[in-house]
Structure 1
Amino acid sequence: MQGLITLAQDPAAWVALLTLVVMEVVLGIDNLIFISILTNKLPPENRERARKIGIGLALVMRLALLGTVAWIVRLTTPIFEIFGHAFSWKDLILIAGGLFLVWKATKEIHHSVDPVDHKEDMVGGAASITFSAAIGQILLLDLVFSIDSIITAVGMTPHLPIMIVAVMSAVTVMLIAATPLANFIAKNPTIVMLALGFLLMIGTTLIAEGMGFHVPKGYIYAAMAFSALVEVLNMFARKRKKSDNTTA
């Protein structure tokens, strides 16, 4: 208890906490986009429940992983080498997660462009998915993003309480934002395609990171923010044009 009081009185700890919360929230955007698109495949009455359960289980998973920080850190230890590049378990997890995202996003883009072909969709099955399948896939991506964010958090602060508060704060933001974001994506088909493009880019970035090519996250999120801003302006323009045509 005395250690927590001392930590709470340290200004550097508060700066580290604020920085880590912002980082966790930003990293959570990737996960939130995937959750929104995936749960929108469910029947309307199950969507919000799936989001809450998926994000809630993600919180449990992240807190459990924080309890094994020493093991998580060892995931960065090289286990084999190919063509002069050493691969660790973290690299393999990032590559697998990236391939998963690229495959899912590509499938969904294909069926958005070619709506006649409904043999497969984002989850490799029918146009809709089961509740358990949605939760399972949410947890699969949560695992990839959780390991990446926790390793990053360990590099920013050695204090476990700060990591726990940051993770809980980020997941709380995700819970609040999940339904509004999913509803917004569902009501705007062009946003769906933009979001899938984001997932494709994020998946490619994960693969590149796993292969040893560092891609600054700032560039990725700046590109996503700029693309989203352009699409919002396009939406306002279409709405204004429709309003003018109705008036005329």
Structure 2
Amino acid sequence: MAGRLKGKVAFVTAAGQGIGRAIAQAFVNEGAKVIATDLDLAKLKDLKKAKIYALDARSTEAVNALAAKVIKEFGAPDILANCAGYVHQGSILECSEDDWDFSFDLNVKSMHRTLRAFVPAMLKNGGGSVINIASVAGSLRGLPNRYVYGTTKAAVIGLTKAMAADFVRQGLRVNAICPGTIQSPSLNERIATNAKKLAKSAKDVRQDFIDRQPIGRLGTPEEIAAGAVWLASDESSYYTGQTMQIDGGMTT
């Protein structure tokens, strides 16, 4: 079924690669007018049929300025997909205060920034759908060496549920997707880092990631995007304040 998002305006952060990229492309494919953003504009160049903008999601000034521009040109978005994030590897023993601050700034406060910038206009327009990318790690189960990452993703669930409760009667639906282990450029970087750190082959480290998935394989960004399309569409109009697990059975 195509055209599920026809007539809707969608704003997507971290759309340059991985999950964010797949979500932006899926929204385009379903007929939405997509405003795709990323810190690195070059990563957005070949995202066809989308309006692309460079955006530092860690800058309140940059987020506010772009939000004002988008609202003026396209109106309030019907869909806001918060996909920016960073995976810090390590326990508390490897987590400095700088690591903690950076992780919370990008993984949680970036969402606060976009929500503050767009939600007032969305409410005036009758609401819409907010989709926050969380994770199985931290928010639904503990995983080794994901201390601050898991903590930030638990915070994303709290943010999601609080927002949903505040605006449930005003037409704003707020949900989170909790992916399992997804094949992405970010995962490739973590595999390379772990291979060097553990003196193992990249193939063996990749297999370690696969082995923690009960389904026996890694997920794809497109599988996460399929869930995001449903959350963005009117098909999910009775669904808010929830966590959607697309995790290959990690939480069964």
TM above 0.5, yes or no, is no
Task: Indicate the structure (1 or 2) with the bigger Cα radius of gyration.
Answer: 1
Structure (1 or 2) with the greater strand fraction: 2
What TM-score, normalized by structure 1, do the two folds share?
A: 0.28
Structure (1 or 2) with the greater helix fraction: 1
